[in-house]
């Protein structure tokens, strides 16, 4: 078992609150990702699990045992750092085996564990090399191997892929996900990279300024963001957020900003009508456009083309809306030129509405 629970945990550094009254349960064998910008408290949270940071208030439980003052070496956790933290003068074999030697395991068991980890991570041919003779991806595998051989109840990873190039990060994400599946161990992973979070996590904890903003599966976080921060932090390109008003438009409603209007379908208008005639923020993700001809009762945005940016199989289209440029991801067959007026049908089920005063999501 490796269930971790934070009960009203706070961490202060002098007058600075790094983590504020954290309530969180990490389930046994799940892959939980702590996601947020620099300074949001995610690494501090990870370090409190590892025992590298003391709690200022609250209680931390492993299963049903309070571990507030338990030293790191008794917590049965293994940590993989952003810097890899390999011993430069030791071979790959000795780096992986170091923790086991410190625990005075028998030599034959150490050799068996190191060999098993090296085979699984495909670095068996590198065991006699030094870290300076390895690529970034190979060093990362060595750091993973050193954690694996301890057979911990909890794996802690602090931005382990941030030093790798983009292509290698994708490969290593897949390897870490597979490692989690085969080991059946609780993983807690810290990152500021939304793609890593969405790819790896069973659940994501989005943090800002030491406070949890939302906890949910990747789909829940992306499709139903609880507030403007969560909506804007996930998505590439980012979500289009437009402040305006819902105004009566004939028999229906339109979203308006500085004289420009997004026409709403009758079904969408009925769902959001309670918020008419007041300020509101509309969120539209770039991919949420309908790839078909506009129909009579569609949600529709119209504007002049300001930019067309090809990105391989798709292209990003920027259109003018009031004083804003809205970006949409469309097929590569779109053939309108700069300055031409286009009309796009929006996916009515995927519009997001927020209260600009509280930043909270509004439920249609």
The residues near 62 (Cβ < 8 Å, ≥ 6 apart) are 2, 3, 4, 70, 75, 76, 153
Considering the domain architecture, whether residues 212 and 275 belong to the same structural domain is answered as no
Of 198, 233, 268, the residue at which a domain comes to its end is 233
Residue 175 is predicted with a pLDDT of 87
- Region 327-346: mean pLDDT is 89
Residue 196 is predicted with a pLDDT of 94
Considering the domain architecture, whether residues 136 and 259 belong to the same structural domain is answered as no
CATH number of the domain within which 320 lies:
2.40.50.140
Considering the domain architecture, whether residues 36 and 148 belong to the same structural domain is answered as yes
Let me know if residue 143 belongs to a domain: yes
pLDDT tens digit string along 187-201? 999 999 999 999 999
Considering the domain architecture, whether residues 207 and 250 belong to the same structural domain is answered as no
Q: What count of other Cβ atoms lies within 10 Å of the Cβ of residue 38?
A: 7
Distance between CA atoms of residues 27 and 63, nearest Å: 9
Considering the domain architecture, whether residues 225 and 268 belong to the same structural domain is answered as no
Respond yes or no on whether the N-terminal peptide bond of residue 237 is cis (omega within 30° of 0): yes
Q: Is 71 helix (H, G, I), strand (E, B) or coil?
A: coil
Q: Is the dihedral of CA 322, 325, 330, 336 positive or negative?
A: positive
Distance between CA atoms of residues 150 and 113, nearest Å: 9
Domain region containing 324: 240-354
Let me know if residue 324 belongs to a domain: yes
Residue 97 is predicted with a pLDDT of 93
Let me know if residue 180 belongs to a domain: yes
Structure token digits, residue 279: 């300020």
Higher pLDDT, 336 or 225: 225
Structure token digits, residue 285: 């993700």
Whether 164 contacts 137, CB under 8 Å: yes
Q: Distance of CA 312 to CAs 133, 210, 306, 309, 352, Å?
A: 35, 38, 19, 10, 28
Higher pLDDT, 166 or 273: 273
Let me know if residue 199 belongs to a domain: yes
pLDDT > 90? residue 337: no
Q: Nearest CA to 187 among 35, 327, 26?
A: 26
pLDDT > 70? residue 1: no
pLDDT > 90? residue 281: yes
Residue 173 phi/psi, 5° resolution?
-60, -45
Of 205, 233, 261, the residue at which a domain comes to its end is 233
Q: What is the DSSP letter of 227?
A: B
Distance between CA atoms of residues 341 and 351, nearest Å: 22
Let me know if residue 359 belongs to a domain: no
Considering the domain architecture, whether residues 15 and 139 belong to the same structural domain is answered as yes
Let me know if residue 361 belongs to a domain: no
Q: Nearest CA to 250 among 231, 232, 269?
A: 269
pLDDT tens digit string along 135-192? 888 898 899 899 889 889 999 999 988 888 888 888 889 888 988 998 889 999 999 9
Higher pLDDT, 8 or 276: 8
Considering the domain architecture, whether residues 229 and 263 belong to the same structural domain is answered as no
pLDDT > 90? residue 227: yes
- Region 266-283: mean pLDDT is 92
- Region 269-293: mean pLDDT is 91
Rg of the chain on CA atoms, in Å:
25
Residue 85 is predicted with a pLDDT of 83
Q: Is the dihedral of CA 141, 147, 149, 155 positive or negative?
A: negative
Residue 290 is predicted with a pLDDT of 85
pTM for this structure? 0.91
Helix axes 107-120, 92-102, angle to 10 degrees: 130
The residues near 135 (Cβ < 8 Å, ≥ 6 apart) are none
Let me know if residue 360 belongs to a domain: no
The residues near 263 (Cβ < 8 Å, ≥ 6 apart) are 249, 252, 254, 298, 299, 300, 301
pLDDT tens digit string along 97-135? 998 998 899 999 999 999 999 998 889 999 999 999 998
pLDDT tens digit string along 34-81? 999 999 999 999 999 999 999 999 999 999 999 999 999 899 999 988
Of 233, 263, 285, the residue at which a domain comes to its end is 233
pLDDT > 80? residue 364: no
Let me know if residue 364 belongs to a domain: no
Considering the domain architecture, whether residues 91 and 224 belong to the same structural domain is answered as yes
Q: What count of other Cβ atoms lies within 10 Å of the Cβ of residue 83?
A: 12
Considering the domain architecture, whether residues 148 and 273 belong to the same structural domain is answered as no
Q: Distance of CA 136 to CAs 165, 168, 172, Å?
A: 9, 9, 11
Q: Residue 211: which H helix or E strand, with range?
A: strand 211-216
The residues near 4 (Cβ < 8 Å, ≥ 6 apart) are 25, 26, 49, 60, 61, 62, 154, 186, 188
- How many domains does the structure of the chain reveal? 2
Considering the domain architecture, whether residues 229 and 279 belong to the same structural domain is answered as no
Considering the domain architecture, whether residues 245 and 209 belong to the same structural domain is answered as no
**pLDDT band for position 344 (cuts 50, 70, 90):** very high
Distance between CA atoms of residues 60 and 348, nearest Å: 43
Considering the domain architecture, whether residues 248 and 164 belong to the same structural domain is answered as no
Alpha helix (H) ranges present in 184-341? 194-200, 218-223, 228-233, 266-272
């Amino acid at each position: 078992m490796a269930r971790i629970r934070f009960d009203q945990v706070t961490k202060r550094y002098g007058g600075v609150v790094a983590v504020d009254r954290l309530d969180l349960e990490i389930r046994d064998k799940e892959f939980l990702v702590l996601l947020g910008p620099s300074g949001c408290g995610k690494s501090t949270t990870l370090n409190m699990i590892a025992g590298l940071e003391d709690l200022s208030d609250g209680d931390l439980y492993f299963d049903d045992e309070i571990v507030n003052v338990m030293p790191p070496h008794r917590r049965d956790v293994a940590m993989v750092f952003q810097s890899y933290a390999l011993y430069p003068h030791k071979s790959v074999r000795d780096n992986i085996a170091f923790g086991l030697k410190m625990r005075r395991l028998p030599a034959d068991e150490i050799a068996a564990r190191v060999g098993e980890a090296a085979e699984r991570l495909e670095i068996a041919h590198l065991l006699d090399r030094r870290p300076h003779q390895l690529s970034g991806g190979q060093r990362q595998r060595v750091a993973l191997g050193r954690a694996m051989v301890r057979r911990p109840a909890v794996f802690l990873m602090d931005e382990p892929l941030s030093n790798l190039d983009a292509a290698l990060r994708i490969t290593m994400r897949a390897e870490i996900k597979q490692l989690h599946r085969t080991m059946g161990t609780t993983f807690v992973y810290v990152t500021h990279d939304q793609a890593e979070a969405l790819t790896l996590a069973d659940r994501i904890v989005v943090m800002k300024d030491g406070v949890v903003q939302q906890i949910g599966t990747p789909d829940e976080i992306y499709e139903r963001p609880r507030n403007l921060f969560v909506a804007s932090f996930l998505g590439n390109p980012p979500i289009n957020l437009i402040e305006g008003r819902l105004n009566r438009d004939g028999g229906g409603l339109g979203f308006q900003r500085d004289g420009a209007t997004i026409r709403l379908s009758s079904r969408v208008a009925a769902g959001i009508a309670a918020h008419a005639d007041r300020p509101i923020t509309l969120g539209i993700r770039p991919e949420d456009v309908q790839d078909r001809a506009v129909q009579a009762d569609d949600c529709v945005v119209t504007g002049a083309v300001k930019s067309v940016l090809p990105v391989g199989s798709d292209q990003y289209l920027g259109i003018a809306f009031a004083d804003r440029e809205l970006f949409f991801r469309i097929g590569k067959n779109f053939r309108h030129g700069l300055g031409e007026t286009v009309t796009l049908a929006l996916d009515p089920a995927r519009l997001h509405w927020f209260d600009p005063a509280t930043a909270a999501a509004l439920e249609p």
